[in-house]
Amino acid sequence: MEATVANVLLTFLAVTAVGIIMLRDLLAAVILLGAYSLIAAGAFVVMDAVDVAFTEAAVGSGISTILFLGALSFTRHDQKPRPNHSWMALFLAVAAGGLLIYGTLDMPYYGSATSAAQTNPGLAVRFLEESGSEVGPPNIVTSVLASYRGYDTLGETMVVFAAGIAVLSILGLKRRRPGENAPLDAPGDKTTTLVVNSSADDGSIASPNEMKRYPRQRHRVLQVVTKLVIPFVLMFGLYVQFHGDYGPGGGFQAGVIFASGFILYGLIFGLQKTRAIMPPSALRILMCLGLLLYCGTGLLTMVLGGNLLDYNVLAHDALHGQHWGIFTVELGVGITVTGVMISLFYNFASKRSL
């Protein structure tokens, strides 16, 4: 039954991928990528990679679609039709694809008994049998991710951080930012200007409260539901962050879910109000703070006489040290990912609204 479900899901995945390639309309492709991500998460669940599925679920359900849409709003909605087909390009694509497929022939089949993981089970057995007494958390994935290969995860966090910096440097800093306390008539600060104009038209002076209210209340249902849902999203983000030792989850997923709460607010109430709640300067601090927390833990363990990210030295008891180390490191990951994701949303969504 499980194999059948996996096969059906993988078939869906292939069909969707082909469909996305065939579509000329990029907006439809973005919508279909949402379905692709959903199927991928389902397939990961069926293949027992629950933590991976969790990440795919957190990223694919909202953030990736939103980033694609943000990119689309900078460009055209249709793929540019090519007048003449380049046979050279076709040949190169087919050759490269063929080589890749040829390469996969060497890989073991799914669940194969002769794969390297089965014939040399030393590492897997070590993780499964000893991680409880060496590292502690019942979720072995967390042990491996945050402790055994904490250095690797440090690199991944840096990649996320670097992506945030790159997007900031390309999209965020190019236009001159009005700043958090910009003058009312700052160019580009359309909302404020419009509110001031409308209040001048009817001759009355708008009080600060009235300026914050929106004159035309549309999508009332969405606004109310959003306000109801956001606390639960943030709460669930915290749960995923701190429950990652025991169940699927951890810093990456928690950061994305936490950021999703803010992004939801931004979609419904506009970038202006979201930036008032979570100013970009705070995001830049968060991005750095998380990574510094991670690196700082590594440095601390070195100062205390261990190797980089060897948490055993953090406390009198090795398991306690591991617990503290994993807690701090995951917190660092969560903070950085939250900062980067919200910052990405700000930069991609701010085509006109700044």
Partner 1 sequence: MFVAATIALLITMALTLWRALVGPTQFDRLLAVNSFGTKTVLLIAVYGFLTGRPDFLDIALVYALINFLGTIAVLKFFEQDDLGSGQYQEDDY
Which positions from 170 through 209 interact with partner 1, judged by CB under 8 A?
190-191, 194
Reference 294, options 233, 249, 343, 252; nearest CA is 252
Tokens 């579509």 locate to: 23
State the CB neighbour count (10 A cutoff) for residue 183.
10
Q: Which of residues 240-269 bind partner 1 (CB under 8 A)?
A: 240, 247-249, 253, 257, 260, 263-264, 266-269
- Residue 188 — left, alpha, or beta (φ > 0 → left; ψ -120 to 50 → alpha)? left
C-alpha 170 chain-centroid distance: 19
Cα separation, 277 vs 150, in Å, equals 33
Q: Which of residues 119-158 bind partner 1 (CB under 8 A)?
A: none
CB contact at 8 A, 299 and 305? no
- Minimum distance of partner 1 from residue 41's CB (angstroms): 7
Please pick, from the candidates 109, 216, 221, 316, the single residue that binds partner 1 as defined by CB under 8 A.
216
Q: Which of residues 20-59 bind partner 1 (CB under 8 A)?
A: 25, 27-28, 30-32, 34-35, 38-39, 41-42, 45-46, 50, 53-54, 57-58
Cα separation, 354 vs 272, in Å, equals 7
Please pick, from the candidates 10, 12, 178, 315, the single residue that binds partner 1 as defined by CB under 8 A.
12
Cα separation, 65 vs 29, in Å, equals 10
- Minimum distance of partner 1 from residue 299's CB (angstroms): 33
Q: Which residues contact 107 (CB under 8 A, 6 or more apart)?
A: none
- Minimum distance of partner 1 from residue 165's CB (angstroms): 21
Residue type, 269: F
CB contact at 8 A, 57 and 249? no
C-alpha 163 chain-centroid distance: 11
Residues binding partner 1: number (CB under 8 A): 77
Most distant CA pair in the chain, distance? 82
Provide the H-helix boundaries in 47-189.
Answer: 50-58, 64-74, 87-104, 116-119, 122-134, 140-142, 150-167
Closest to partner 1 by CB, 49 vs 313, is 49
Closest to partner 1 by CB, 39 vs 286, is 39
- Minimum distance of partner 1 from residue 71's CB (angstroms): 11
Closest to partner 1 by CB, 222 vs 303, is 222
- Minimum distance of partner 1 from residue 164's CB (angstroms): 17
- Minimum distance of partner 1 from residue 156's CB (angstroms): 20
Q: Does 10 bind partner 1 (CB under 8 A)?
A: no
Cα separation, 48 vs 169, in Å, equals 39
Reference 150, options 289, 321, 315; nearest CA is 321
Please pick, from the candidates 91, 110, 151, 214, the single residue that binds partner 1 as defined by CB under 8 A.
214
- Minimum distance of partner 1 from residue 195's CB (angstroms): 8
Stretch that binds partner 1, among 125-133, 180-188, 227-235, 330-338 (CB under 8 A): 227-235
Q: Which of residues 54-83 bind partner 1 (CB under 8 A)?
A: 54, 57-58, 61-63, 65-66, 69-70, 72-73
Cα separation, 117 vs 279, in Å, equals 47
Q: Which of residues 324-353 bind partner 1 (CB under 8 A)?
A: 345-346, 348-353
Q: Which of residues 261-320 bind partner 1 (CB under 8 A)?
A: 263-264, 266-273
Closest to partner 1 by CB, 35 vs 282, is 35
DSSP letters, 271-291, are: HHHHHHHS-HHHHHHHHHHHH
- Minimum distance of partner 1 from residue 297's CB (angstroms): 26
- Minimum distance of partner 1 from residue 198's CB (angstroms): 9
